[in-house]
Amino acid sequence: MAHDMAHDARLRALEDGLRAQDPRFSEAMDAGEPCVPREYRRGRAWLLLLAGLTALGVGIGIGHGLLLATGLVVSGLAVHLFDPDRPRPRGLFSRR
């Protein structure tokens, strides 16, 4: 009986940790409609990568160094967003 209570406490702690880490995923699981966990949501990264590569291509095409450099920087930032273990921002503009 004590073993079951310890097991339930560990499951509750795991559930609370998941709820704090990714509330959208946790709420979707509670509703029975699972969504993709935060680590695999990469829509913004793909959009930023597309914009960066576009700027890079146009910069190469027209020979504009500043546009080319901007495309390289934006593409580099986008690639960083594909890392599932990257630290999550906390502050004024972070999504909760």
Question: Per-residue pLDDT tens for 18-69?
Answer: 777 777 777 777 777 776 665 666 778 889 999 999 999 999 999 999 999 9
State residue 83's pLDDT score: 77
- The pair of three-digit structure tokens given for residue 56, joined into one six-digit string: 């890079």
Question: What is this structure's pTM?
Answer: 0.53
What separation in angstroms does the CA of 22 have from each of 10, 31, 80? 18, 15, 20
**Residues 33, 80, 62, CA angle at the centre, nearest 5°?**
115
Report the alpha-carbon distance of residue 13 to residue 75 in Å, rounded.
39
The pair of three-digit structure tokens given for residue 12, joined into one six-digit string: 């509750």
Contacting residues for 34 by C-beta, under 8 A, at least 6 apart? 25, 28
